[in-house]
Amino acid sequence: MNPSPAVLSEEQLRSRLPLELPHWSIEHGRLFRRWRTSGWKSTLMVVNAIGHLAEAAWHHPDLSVSYAAVDVKLSTHSAGGITEKDLALASKIEQVIGWQPALEPDSVLEGTPNSDPRLRYIRYDTPAPGGTD
Ligand SMILES: C[C@H](O)[C@H](O)[C@H]1CNC2=NC(N)=NC(=O)C2=N1
């Protein structure tokens, strides 16, 4: 079992977040990120994807789930604050949930279309051209 990493200060976090996790903030002493979706089925897919990453990491967020949004809140319970573990899992969540193949110049994958509202999935902060918003 790894020893609990050191709790990061608010100052350290405020200087690192804009560079490392620009879509994340600090709310009530936890890293916070809201993912907006097209509706309940998409919401549950996002919840399950985050759930997989958390279990694989053995580091778990608190999630608030509503019809078209998932709020992710991260802190290290054993350390009593935000640590490198939270930053690392937040980064992985951002990579995986925020993944839009259409933004990768050499990707052969087209990504979720927005031509048909019924196909919409995640409402990205910066939607790819032709992608879902
Ligand atoms: C019970 C306890 O939460 C677990 O042993 C592990 C796994 N997941 C965890 N997740 C988080 N966020 N903090 C922890 O300290 C932690 N500890």
Residue 17, domain member (yes or no)? yes
Residue 20, domain member (yes or no)? yes
pLDDT at 40: 98
The residue with tokens 């690192």 is 16
Atom 16 of ligand 1, residue of closest alpha carbon:
59
pLDDT at 129: 74
pLDDT at 5: 87
Q: Which structural domain, as residue segments, surrounds residue 40? A: 10-96
Q: Is 43 exposed, middle or buried (0-12, 13-18, 19+ CB in 10 A)?
A: buried
Residue 58, domain member (yes or no)? yes
pLDDT at 126: 81
Reported as a single tens digit per residue, the pLDDT across 43-72 is: 999 999 999 999 999 999 999 999 999 999
Q: Is the CB of 60 under 6 A from ligand 1?
A: yes
Q: Read off the tokens for 126.
A: 């910066």
Ligand 1: atom nearest CA of 62 is 12
Distance, CA of 12 to CA of 1 (rounded, Å): 26
pLDDT at 12: 97
Atom 5 of ligand 1, residue of closest alpha carbon:
58
Q: Compute the 3-state secondary structure of the chain and give helix, strand, coil in percent, each to the nearest 5.
A: 35, 20, 40
Residue 124, domain member (yes or no)? no
Counting as low any pLDDT under 70, the low residues of the chain are 1-2, 130-133
Query: 30: domain CATH number?
Result: 3.30.1360.20
Q: Is the CB of 59 under 6 A from ligand 1?
A: yes
Q: Count of domains in the chain?
A: 1
Q: Is the CB of 52 under 6 A from ligand 1?
A: no
pLDDT at 130: 62
Helix (H) or strand (E) holding 33: strand 30-37
Q: Is the CB of 56 under 6 A from ligand 1?
A: no
